[in-house]
Structure 1
């Protein structure tokens, strides 16, 4: 039996009753968080660009809602737009061991397809969990080497999770699901070259994955076929997208139904690249210890090589981010914000903020080096390690081994709800926002999704 066959058998036989209550509760928490992030994302220029483009493509109008808007598209285009909204702020969740932002893919997909097919809240929740269990294992099996090859793990692993979610809602047979995974291998695409100019392409990776997965599900149900050896084959995903000395194919099916990766997803407290969160935690803690920017000669960050490739390299470019998006991937800027302002929030990426002289002056005094491999806990955690040299010559060191929001240092239900309400402030009334939170909390009792959908549109 190939790995895609094992995954297909797991997905097709998965029921709500087989999923532990703790996992289901975590899924609902992730959905709540992602919806809040997505609603906030509808303010972003990149989302508005996506809407402007999709709106003029012939034949895209339909019955499915775009969150935070009055516009309705065909289901495939609704999930594309909603996926962009959920990921564009870099405030969505991360499965750290696989480095996958999955909920921004799976939630738009299961809501749109679930409504199209008349599925219940239980069905949608089960499909969401199925998506996470598959995507996380694909990322883990790569040994996190997708990023080393220049691929965006979210896009590569995410298409397989999305295919699992779509196939589950479409009631694919195990054979059809296996073919669907094979088809998904040809859509596993997304490169990290966006880092060179802070371009908007990364924001579309999740929307493309969600849309493609929906189409793949229908194709497989109609008889389209794909390679059963899509993962482990000579020209399969792990060989073409991973590194031979890092991949671990058995992880694709390891502990299915016994270890629930959905519970290992981290919720972000800061709206920026997750790799920098531990360093931000350190900077805020230093401020709480009484360290002020005027007393700092320099700050040296010790960070994993993969993470550094996103937020530290090349350091000269990170000292002076030229856009809000660039600032989200600049460890020097983020550390400066944490130390000076005591927080990193949506306001940290206003045009006025990224031009602030005090932030840029401190950012220019931040340097970095790669941590010794295997010593930091990465990628299970995105830790922080800063060494600060003060103007009087003293050195102060701060370590945060587990970044805040990780399942081992989780945000409370109250903190997650607070994040949701802050994200939708100015978009939804408090009554309406609370209604959405309550409906997701009661997802298993919903017979259809129409009531929830009505609350998400303007």
Structure 2
């Protein structure tokens, strides 16, 4: 028997993986990812970048339509529903982050939910759960082909590279494509992969997730229609290897028991909407603040002489004086100073009112950034240290090596649910919020996804006792 190429092995695995391959750990972790993704996506529908993308997408109509999250009665063609819902997920940089670095869920869940609404035979919750995990798995496997991918990215934003491939794989699985068609879907999707890091910290960055979601869905549907691409796309340096200088692919073997990447590598769930690196520096700064005030409760932080941040070197998250909220979400300096002043960083920290505070701007002027040689740009090994010199000549410092929410220190289920509830309640009534929590918790038992779709669009005037009772 001839050895399968890498691309053939991926096509075969995508097609053949079944619900029986899912483990308890993978089911539990992926449910947490789904719930968090829906919450940050719903909150993201209140952002300017979502409104711009929605205004653009509403120009298009189709015979098949899917729901826009948080917008009662608003439907778009499934590709555009995937696009705007994906943008909403990443619009505040509040979505989950994996290692090697990418945002895995936002590229996969929106296209699956959009596709499910348009399929003649409605998929079950278990079908969705399996397809979601196939999309996550493909991303994890592709990132394992590069050592460079383990570090904070410098060239391409990872969701644009592996996210579109995960979206294509997930949609292919939900559509029931055969191994050859799954290969074609990956090949087609690869031609929509890649976006430069230069657009990080701008309104365009959330489009990376939206584009990955949309283009992956398109790739799977084009493959279903018979469109063909390079059948060795994952094997070639001039294929998918173009994104990694140290690309070293390996076949994906589907043998029982199947070992999912998510089994060994959990995701980070963020407590506030900013680049993942900001969570280390915010926790360290909050610890320094607590130490300072325990030493002297009357300390005036406006009199601080110097703030030193010892962080890994990464140019795009070294932003001394952010002007926009997107720059602030990618600024070590801003997040450290916000935590020093307030004790924590929240959704409200990135409002114009908070960003324009004189106390914050004055403190930013006193920040010095150091890049210790032992502090590598890697989400698994990096640390952040914050040192403050007070007006009285005292020095206080704290180091964070693992923030709460990191995969080594995951959020409790209670805190994850609280995060979802807070985010979703900004858009939906409480009955819908509680209904979504219950559905995701029991997703593998749901005969179809129609009730989830209804809850995602429920307005305060449309709460139905019958809908809520179905979840009791």
Work out whether the TM-score is over 0.5: yes
Shift of 1:295: 5.5
Q: CA, structure 1 residues 149+294, in 2 after alignment: closer, same or farther (shift >3 Å)?
A: closer
| Structure 1 segment 168-247 matched on structure 2, within 5 A | 168-195=173-200, 198-238=201-241, 240-244=242-246, 247=247
TM-aligned CA distance change 1:439 to 1:234, over 3 Å = closer
- Stretch moving more, 424-433 or 387-396: 387-396
Is the counterpart of residue 21 in structure 1 residue 24 in structure 2?
yes
In structure 2, list runs of 5 or more residues that go unmatched.
Answer: 294-298, 460-472
- Match for residue 96 of structure 2? 93
The alignment of Structure 1 onto Structure 2 pairs a total of residues equal to: 443
Q: Distance in 1 between matches of 2:385 and 2:197?
A: 25
| Matched-pair contact (CA < 8 Å) for 2:152–2:377 | no
- Is 1:249 the counterpart of 2:249? The answer is yes
Deviations 1:262-313 (A, max 9, x none): 65211111111112211111111112223563463222222223xx22211x
Relative to 1, partners in 2 of residues 1:426 and 1:264: Cα closer, same or farther, differing over 3 Å? closer
Unpaired runs of 5+ residues, structure 1, are 313-317
Aligned equivalents of 2:221 and 2:44: distance in 1?
A: 29
Which moved further from structure 2: 263-272 or 64-73? Answer: 263-272
Determine the C-alpha separation between the residues in 2 that align with 1:381 and 1:9.
35
SS of match in other structure, 2:94: coil
Q: Cα RMSD (Å) of the superposition?
A: 2.3
3-state SS, counterpart of residue 103 of structure 1:
coil
| Per-residue deviation, 1:407 | 2.0
Q: Is the 8 A contact 1:273 1:329 kept in 2?
A: yes
Task: Specify which of 264, 270, 288 is matched with residue 286 of structure 1.
Answer: 288
CA distance in structure 2 between the aligned counterparts of 1:304 and 1:106, rounded to whole angstroms: 30
Q: Give matches, 1:231-380, under 5 Å.
A: 231-238=234-241, 240-244=242-246, 247-250=247-250, 257-261=258-262, 263-291=265-293, 293-294=301-302, 296-305=304-313, 308-312=314-318, 318-372=319-373, 376=376, 378-380=378-380
Q: Does 1:30 align with 2:30?
A: no
The 8 Å contact of residues 97 and 268 in structure 2, kept in 1 or not, is answered as yes
* Contact residue 82 and residue 108 of structure 1 kept, 8 A: yes
| 2:238 alignment partner, SS class | coil
The answer to whether the 8 A contact 2:337-2:360 is kept is: yes
CA-CA distance at 1:377 after TM superposition: 8.2
Distance 2:251 2:320 in 1: 39
Q: Deviations over 1:423-449 (max 9, x none)?
A: 123422222211111011111111111
Which residue in the other structure is 2:137 paired with? 133
Structure with higher Rg: it is 2
Specify the SS of the correspondent of 1:69.
coil
With structure 1 as the length reference, what TM-score do the two structures score?
0.91
Report the Cα offset of residue 248 of structure 1: 4.0
Cα distance between partner residues in 2 of 1:131 and 1:190: 20
- Separation in 2 of the partners of 1:66 and 1:408? 34
